[in-house]
Structure 1
């Protein structure tokens, strides 16, 4: 518990890579004075002119909104760059009516076959693509399954027709 104030202070005064600023400076419009500088005189604290300091604080407060907007723009650019990096790895999967697929055992809520049991079941044919990754299926006997199935619970089967 004694360390939590130090951890919070470190978090507030650490420069974030997403926007290039500290949360403290985005809140108060100025750089924070660390506790070590308060106890030990430094050039920054010793050569302080109160009149000039108040004037500089007023200017910083007037420019704070602009600084926040700039940080938001930088953060948005960072987010777009990160999104591009991760979206390169995504592989889209879609099925057409007539495609053969397997269905995930967990999603179908079938009987638990244990750790060594099959993860995928059946051989199903896609009868209709409903959009947004949902599909209607029918089994090999031609019986339509009662609900829709999401693409994440289906896997393409690479064999010839039933």
Structure 2
């Protein structure tokens, strides 16, 4: 939710540069544009994942377009039923794309992580946590404490860094 709110807030801020103080009038347009813009992760818009079809952009409603000029209500109903029958497949495809995106992101961040292995008898330092930090030392207080000697291994010989 924080990421969504950040995007909406950023878009509102950009819109309000032009129109000072009228954020309530701009909010509906910003929300509409957010819900009708395809996401990078899924390739679909949130609107289409919920309703099974694409929404018309507000500019299209007032102007003449091919889609508006060739609108047939019976054909639209048939197509809408067809899309609603396929919406579960579309959602599953979007879920697969999100999982693939998350795997790529995880792989990217994990490529920068250096694996450490510790053995029994190794000396290690432990990070000082905020609740154990001596307040009187201030900014110049120690960030690490120790050294500590590893006595036993709970994870089969490979211990994560502390």
TM-score between both structures, scaled by the size of structure 2: 0.74
Structure (1 or 2) with the larger CA radius of gyration: 1
Maintained 8 Å contact 2:49/2:90 = yes
2:161 match: 151
1:39 match: 62
Maintained 8 Å contact 1:12/1:23 = yes
Q: Number of matched residues?
A: 138
Q: Does 1:120 align with 2:130?
A: no
2:88 match: 65
Describe the SS at the equivalent of 1:114: helix
Q: C-alpha distance in 2, partners of 1:71/1:129?
A: 42
Maintained 8 Å contact 1:99/1:126 = yes
2:122 alignment partner, one of 99, 106, 130: 99
> How far 1:41 moved relative to its partner?
2.1
> Any runs of at least 4 consecutive aligned residues in structure 1 with deviations exceeding 6 A, and if so which?
132-135
- Structure showing the higher strand proportion among its residues: 1
Q: Does 1:24 align with 2:34?
A: no
**Gap regions ≥5 residues in structure 2:** 1-23
Describe the SS at the equivalent of 2:129: helix
Q: CA RMSD in A?
A: 2.5
- Select between 8-17 and 106-115 the one with higher mean Cα deviation: 106-115
> How far 1:128 moved relative to its partner?
1.5
> How far 1:44 moved relative to its partner?
0.9
TM-score between both structures, scaled by the size of structure 1: 0.74
**Gap regions ≥5 residues in structure 1:** 136-149, 153-162
- Structure showing the higher helix proportion among its residues: 2
